[in-house]
Structure 1
Amino acid sequence: MDSNWFTALFDDHYENVMNNVGRYVSDGFAGTSSVSGVGGSVGDSYGNYNSEVQDNDLNQQDDNDGGDLFWHRECDRTKLVICTAGALTMYYNTLKPSRRMSVIEKVGMFLYTLALGASNREVQERFHHSGETISRNFKEVLRSVCLLAADFIRLVDPKFTTTPLEIEMNPRYMPYFKNCIGAIDGTHVRACVSQEIQIPFIGRNGIPTQNIMAACSFNMQFTFVWAGWEGSAHNTRIFYEAIGNTNIQFPRPPEGKYYLVDSGYPNEYGYLGPYRGERYHLPEFHRRGQPRSREELFNRVHSSLRCVIECTFGVWKKRWRILQTMPEFPYKSQVKIVVASMALHNYIRRKSGQDVAFNKFDSHPDFVPPDTFPDVVPQSQTTGHQSASRMDYIRDGITNSLMGQ
């Protein structure tokens, strides 16, 4: 059942696997046209689009994003399908080929569904399997990728012993934000639920959504995710649940360290927000000129650094169209899809140095993509009688340093 070419791709140190696959994609690998079992026929399984199929898939997309859609970049999808299949088969031992389907085809169908938001019927037409077979194999791969998530959605430096390179190497942020360890925000993805239970899922966006709290590093990798909240749930409620419930295992900041948050979150110790009632978002400074006060100066730098979480959400959502057009899966499966797609996001970031979507944001770090389902946060009401928190003093200290640079 195993195949020599497939094994050879992964017969190396794990860090070199993506390079092996890159060479395979570029140069070809002998014997792949007739391989079965774990490897399967790569072309027959998912890679050989004829013009009719490709046109059909492209017609499903908006004119603005069809050319950039991940699945239509053959090299990217080939590398991801093979590497994911290899990881789940050889390192996690969670997927096995069946009598009629290779692991690569199982993973290919799964990633096809996530990348295009394809329905079961559309996957049937593309891969020529029954609806029951597609559903069964999707669940199998989804379970396996969720196991992958346990290793990939976590901190690389769990004790926060070093300053992130993205801060340390940038005089715009160093030494002012040397104790910053990441950014936190919430985001929404489409939820497909029955009308009987829709009301709690309909928030300010006016459509059923799933609200997700996530933290990310400055390398655009998710370090924490809590998915499954109804769209009407407020970010502050989710935040307090996350930091207060020991079962959630949220990576809390140690003494002296902090995450960046926006004005929708409380300025609790360990979570640094902007000055409220002042300009904050980068487009505001682009439209109306340079900061006019010390508070606006801090807010502009804070926003520039914190926008990494918005960029991370942007890359993640653009790659996986299923997050915008969720098919009719059970809600628990929809939650798992969110987690699985975030794990794959991190997997690509760690293993591929030439990913088109990430490279775009690496080249333009201040570019913030528009969110498909923006989280509408009401304007915070502040009064002069609120007592200053420890984070207020830390924020003032950073502001004074920025003023004196």
Structure 2
Amino acid sequence: MAKEEANSGSASGGNYDVFLSFRGSDTRNTFADCLFIFMRNAGIRIYRDDEELRPGENISEILWAVRSSQIYIPIFSKNYASSRWCLRELTCMVEESYGQLLGKILPIFYDVDPRDVKLDTELYKSALMKHEEELDYTVVKTWKEALTKAAKIKGWHIKDQRQGKVIEDIVTDVLQMIEKRKRELVGIDNYIKDIKKLLNYCDTSDVRFIIIHGIGGIEKTTLAKAVFNQLSPQFEGHSFLSNIQESSSCGDIVKMQRKLVADLFGLPFAKTFNFDEGNNIIKKSISKKRVFLVFDGMDGNDQFLQLAKHCTSCGSGSRIIITARDNSIFSVTKLEESEENISIRSTKVIPYEMKKMPFDHDLGDISREFVKLTGRLPLVIRNQSEAKGKSILKTLEKVFHQDFHQKFKIIPDVVGHQVKQIF
């Protein structure tokens, strides 16, 4: 496999700072190479993979590198969409970044326009049509969705730009993001140690569920992702299923089944399979593997609970993390009532309450100003970055120059959406 890793190492937030995705024939010896060297020299832990030089057809290691990275940089070029490998990488990036703190996409539009990537022109659209002639429609559909989502993200445009200056700007922005992420992860290391101790992944005598529960906004997903990044290479198969609660409301259980099977076994599903057929495939195949799974954001949806229940049939030594706000929906019997499980091995279900969010001490002064400005009322103010906090504080200072109790009544009419969202 042709891959390069610069300044590699382990960290709470991932094994790599950056995953670089590009079409080798377009940018291997030009822009992508220069960007890689600049980032490496800046001390950034970067992983790049050249799909043109890969002899095999096993993408599992590449997708693991994606999931182990904090920042994803796809370089969209004219032939990017003609590469199945690039599209698989991009789909994984979108899945990992959507709704999560870990994993952020920073697209580069090298010699294309966002309209091309959004499939509004024939450039990428024709490439996808060729894939549809040879592949399952549902596979290509996920690639289309990933492209259109990535195209909407603000990125860098290289057309008619001095590439050296653009690369310097990219490296500067990435370094700032890495530093910000380090501050966000302050205080989470102790939680990571707790979960790893409970998982006891070296013990292969049982199947173990860890249920991380607690109120919203305390970084349960961040914790689960950090543990997943560190331990997933120790297992025969692994999968991180994110935003389950949202998928539940949208009826996307089958999509989750597809991802689980693709991650663990590299198998595509038939176009017209249903929920029960998907569960049967998972149940029959999963017992042969020692796996590490994460169900992030579970609620009381019966179908997702059934899916989790089938994971009690995993191979001995498997580990499953579930994150949820309410621990009461996961009774031990719901996860253990499996004849195969009872007769073959034990299952341990261990709840872990995450009680508070790590505090960023840099925001202490801003928090005190909020309290003073709002008349010391017992409001809940949502967590903000330092820069955003200062910006919102200035807006509130203009509004609350009179008695706060009176001004608070007219907040919806005076301030913008961003300010209203903090309360």
Structure number with higher relative contact order (C-alpha < 8 Å, ≥ 6 residues apart): 1
Same fold (TM > 0.5): no
Structure-1-length-normalised TM-score: 0.27
* Higher strand residue share: 2
